[in-house]
Amino acid sequence: MSANDSQKGTKIAAAVLVAAQILAAGGAVAVNLLAAVVLSPAGRGDLAFALQLAYFLSVFAVMGLERPFIASRSGGFGTEYRVFARMVTPGTLCVLPIAFIAAALSPFSTRWMWMGVIAIAAYVALNSLVHALRVAYVCSREWKWFAVNAIVTQLIIVVGAVLLVLIGVNDPVVWMWAYAASAVPTAVLLFVAPRPSKHLEPTRTEKRGLRRRGWVLLPSEFSNSAMLRSDRLLLPILSSSAALGLYVTVATVLEMATWPVQQWVDASLRNWSQGFSSHSFPVVRIIARSVLLLVASAAVLAAAAYAMIVFVLPDSYAPAAAAIIPLAVSAVIFGVTRVQQGLLIAADSPGTVSVVEIIGTVASLIAYITLIPHYGMFGAAYGSIIGYAVCAAAGAFTLARVIRRKAKQSYADGPSADVADGGADLSDIAPSAAEPAGSDVELIDRYPDRTRK
């Protein structure tokens, strides 16, 4: 397959992923507006906290497998969906008891016991399948089932939110159940998605290699989620649920600025991995283009958030407008760190990704714990800027170091330098032979300095 065909396939995959997230963004904004009609800032804060807790715990359920799986497998949608779902089942079952305990000990009102806690656990389990569905699309490039699920999911949550507003339901527990119900189609697809007549299940050795690489990346995934969500988890604890309700009104909109870049990064991982074997790989150009896209996206969404607060939401949400600018700045910086992370993974240095993410997480937590008790949602917003900036600085230093090492390392040097720098030895991950007709990826080139040997 030619390089042009591969790049075209990557662009199409990224476009489909971005389209799905734009659809999700529209649904999120609609539900955000509808929830504000019947929920007070405190109730909106409770719902936001429950969602962030579910998303955070889902990271451990997936066990870091998402990107290693995408990077090394290709096959039919139904096959890859079921394979990945089976691989994340053990992690999901281990996390569910933790979800119950964490939800039970969280700063909710007593009405969250026990239906609210069960809803959070159900959403954690179903969210693992949401990850599996996305992975199956990227591995197969079969967009139809992925698109059907994206549309049906958003229809369920938006229609459910409209019904709750019409009925006048102001209980955040019921709204949490609406979110859980919106993920049910992903479970249905486990049974109805077609399985190709010819498919290749991963071998035990391949599974073992994928899990090993997933564990290497898990600290990075945890730190990434902690950086992105710890502000929302800490706000009701260190300040109030009302402060979180105001904060997420803006943060939910501004975080969408990073979505196009993140989808582009995931869809480009294979091509970038191959490109790092060339000394002319345009790292600076990639980052520069990403910054321009992030700034443009953040500016548009900041204006949209301001218009939403001024012209649509009740007056009780007006104080949230003051958090728009710092949250826009933090979104741009966070998007840059996602590009750096993708480049480091493509350079086969997952260990360094984890180190960088942990540094950023520690900086974020220190900033949040210091600023939130005194400044509330503004402390969370400016704490995000501080934490993400530290992560970006560490990422820039690490990426420059990896690029210099790659420039000095000849093609025949082998994996020793990568492993010493935190990379994982992937010699036991065999590229899948289940490549469908029309696939855009030649997996034999995924790790040219290792798996070919």
The pLDDT tens digits for 50-107 are: 888 888 888 888 888 887 887 777 778 888 898 899 999 998 999 888 888 887 777 6
Distance CA 267, CA 139 (A): 10
Q: What is the pLDDT of residues 360-415, one digit of tens each?
A: 889 999 999 999 999 999 999 999 999 999 999 999 999 888 888 776 764 445 54
CA dist 244 and 223 (Å) reads 21
Of 149, 139, 134, whose CA–CA distance to 58 is shortest? Answer: 134
pLDDT at residue 241, as a whole number: 79
Question: Could you tell me the pTM of the whole model?
Answer: 0.66
SS3 of 442, please?
Answer: coil
Residue 16 corresponds to which tokens in the numbers above? Answer: 């489909």
Q: pLDDT, tens digit, for every residue of 408-441?
A: 764 445 544 444 444 433 333 333 333 333 333 3
Instruction: Supply the DSSP symbol for 142.
Output: -
Mean pLDDT of 268-297: 80
User: For residue 15, how far is the Cα from the chain centroid?
Assistant: 16
Q: How many CA atoms lie within 13 A of 10 on its CB side?
A: 22
Burial of 181 (0-12, 13-18, 19+ CB in 10 A): middle
Burial (CB count within 10 angstroms: exposed 0-12, middle 13-18, buried 19+), residue 351: buried
